[in-house]
Amino acid sequence: MAADSGGVVLVDCTGNRRKTFPDALSKTLPIWTAVLQSMVATLKVPGTCPETFSDAFLHLRTAEAERPDILKLLPEWVEKLRKNLPEAEAMQLAAALKGRRLRPFWACPTDDLNKLRDELEALKEEHAIVLCVSASKVVAGSTSYIQGAGDDEEASGGLCERRAARPQRCPEAEELLELARRAPQEVDAAIKALPGPPDQMDVPTQDTAKVSVADQVVCLSFIGGTGVAVGNFASAAPPRVWDCVDAVLNCGGEEHPEMKGDPRYLHLPAADEKKHDPSKRWWQEVLLPQALRFIARSLQQGEKVLIHCSRGDNRCPAVAAAALAAFFGPGGTGPFHLAKRRLEKADLRRCLVVVQCHHPNCMVPRRIMQFLNLFFVTEDGGWSTWQIAPTEEPLTVPSLLGASRASALAAGQPVADQVLTDQGFALYISGAFFAQSLPLLRQLGVSHIVNVTKAPNVFEGKFAYHQVAIEDDRSANLLQVLDAALEFIHDARTQSYNCCVLVHCREGVSRSVSVVLAYLMRFEQLCLSGAMRLLQDRRSGSCRPNAGFLQQLKAFEEALHQTQESRTGGQATSEAPTKKQLGCGKADS
């Protein structure tokens, strides 16, 4: 289409609030255009000259750090396509291009359209444009637009399923649908004016992370007569929660301290964002199997169980839908049973609609519904072999922190390595993957985070942050920002009780390593080689500051040495060396 028409427009959006473009537009499509262009370039088409593969064919909207890895794989992908695509179709594409090149181009709501128009005009003559338009935009409190829900049946945009899907429960549905056709801008106000379901206590509107538990609005909804309730963090606050339910399942990252150790309580932390869960198959292998066992035991005994997460709008409704599908039949409305039945995606969607009808404060993202689909629908997903454990067998969450680094990495799990411990103080180092998982940070007991990237602090307000906003570039001035970071770590060490500091960058290889090395040199009196040896021993992984950072660390070491000499009046060499200094001496020899 792009070749025949001179261009094509693709519109998509993402549910990830930290991304402007979905991966389909920023990475997948550019790779395909590069593969197709590379294949076409080598064909002998009348009127054109064959070209060799050029990395100029690859245009990415992702980080440039990914470019080398993709370039290495492009020739292999081109060859695979050449073997599987009929030559006639390849020649047809080449002829349609008429010597032009396929070229992705991106536009989002925040772009300067006049500037983009000029850039497009300059490209049109020699390129067939694939215009990638992002429709991602956050509209707070809206029922007429949900970011990333353009093709999401589980949280569909337009008139939200939670009101319109069940006319018998919402007699105003037809009027609302007509209003949506006639004056869509008035739908939000009309829905807000409708009375809530009788079994819903209150719908929260504030950010619970910034409000004390006592002041948060309680949002707790019972799903009909199933005995299953869904709520937010405030709804699970003891002791009042025990007036409503007999068991509590927490799927969020935070806990009420009083709940820990209570046999009626289980914490199965799930991350609020994509890729932040403790492991890639966390939902299929841990969360859903354990959650269903916990819920089944409670329902078997005639107890009521509350499932909650932080806001009560995404993770806990999904787990509730899973419980309805597992124990109340495909539609989620039958009597309680433990006989397993084969389930389809449509069954899970119907169960989610049941939850939405009773709990309108519910927007489950497609990625979470995909976890449910993988668990229940695929043959090896887990549901086919799931069984309720004996009553006496305790339900526990496997810890990822006790596993060895090698086994954790082999399982695709993010890890943090302990560098230093000293009387209530611990220093860890990791990559961004670990630092973006609230469950793992909570499990480790992190209190302070040094973010050595330009990316925003993910959990601002939940931890004490210090940001070192530099790139992993040999020309970056590390020394200029080093002192503040080291003082932040040491202040946490000396002024806080039971303090755990995590230092992270993107990969945990260069920037964060440089900061930790500097800390060991200044406050543990280690030389650079000794600090590097200690860190390599503790990490069993990569410690590779870039050449520029290494040069600056050597200058930092020399400055420390000169400062020490000036403080001792130039008599440092005559004093007895410490054990740490001896360790450095041995390393240097």
The domain locations on the chain are: 2-134, 202-376, 414-588
Q: What percent of the chain has pLDDT over 90?
A: 28
Residue 330 confidence (pLDDT):
79
Closest residue by Cα to residue 8 from 120, 171, 167:
120
pLDDT band per the 50, 70, 90 thresholds, residue 450: very high
Mean pLDDT of the 212-236 span: 80
Mean pLDDT of the 424-434 span: 89
Give how far Cα 304 sits from Cα of 226, 242, 301, 339, Å. Answer: 8, 10, 9, 20
Quick check: helix, strand or coil at residue 382? coil
Which of 141-155, 182-196, 293-307, 471-485 has the least mean pLDDT?
Answer: 141-155
> Which residue did the predictor score with more confidence, 313 or 199?
313
Average pLDDT score over the chain: 78
pLDDT digits (tens, 9 = 90+) for 14-64: 766 567 788 888 888 888 888 888 888 777 655 555 555 556 677 777 666
Same fold, 202-376 and 414-588: yes
> Which residue did the predictor score with more confidence, 576 or 457?
457
pTM confidence score: 0.45
pLDDT digits (tens, 9 = 90+) for 459-512: 888 899 999 999 998 899 999 999 999 999 999 998 877 899 999 998 889 999
pLDDT band per the 50, 70, 90 thresholds, residue 146: very low
Statement: residue 141 has pLDDT above 70: no
pLDDT band per the 50, 70, 90 thresholds, residue 242: very high
Yes or no: say if 106 and 13 are a contact pair by the CB < 8 Å rule: no
Residue 51 confidence (pLDDT):
55
pLDDT band per the 50, 70, 90 thresholds, residue 169: very low
Residue 53 confidence (pLDDT):
53
Tell me how far apart the alpha carbons of residues 29 and 58 are, in angstroms, rounded to a whole number: 10
Residue 501 confidence (pLDDT):
96
Instruction: Specify the CATH number of the domain 202-376.
Output: 3.90.190.10
> Which residue did the predictor score with more confidence, 168 or 433?
433
- Candidate ranges 167-171, 260-264, 396-400; pick with highest mean pLDDT: 260-264
Multiple choice CATH, 414-588, 3.40.47.10, 3.10.20.310, 3.90.190.10, 2.40.50.140: 3.90.190.10
Residue 487 confidence (pLDDT):
95
Closest residue by Cα to residue 508 from 546, 467, 543:
543
Beta carbons within 8 Å of 63's beta carbon, 6+ residues apart:
none
Beta carbons within 8 Å of 543's beta carbon, 6+ residues apart:
509, 513, 532, 535, 536
Mean pLDDT of the 319-338 span: 89
> Which residue did the predictor score with more confidence, 569 or 13?
13
Yes or no: say if 265 and 247 are a contact pair by the CB < 8 Å rule: yes
pLDDT band per the 50, 70, 90 thresholds, residue 167: very low
> Which residue did the predictor score with more confidence, 405 or 377?
377
Alpha-carbon torsion angle 96, 97, 99, 104, nearest 10: 180
Statement: residue 243 has pLDDT above 60: yes
Yes or no: say if 315 and 217 are a contact pair by the CB < 8 Å rule: no
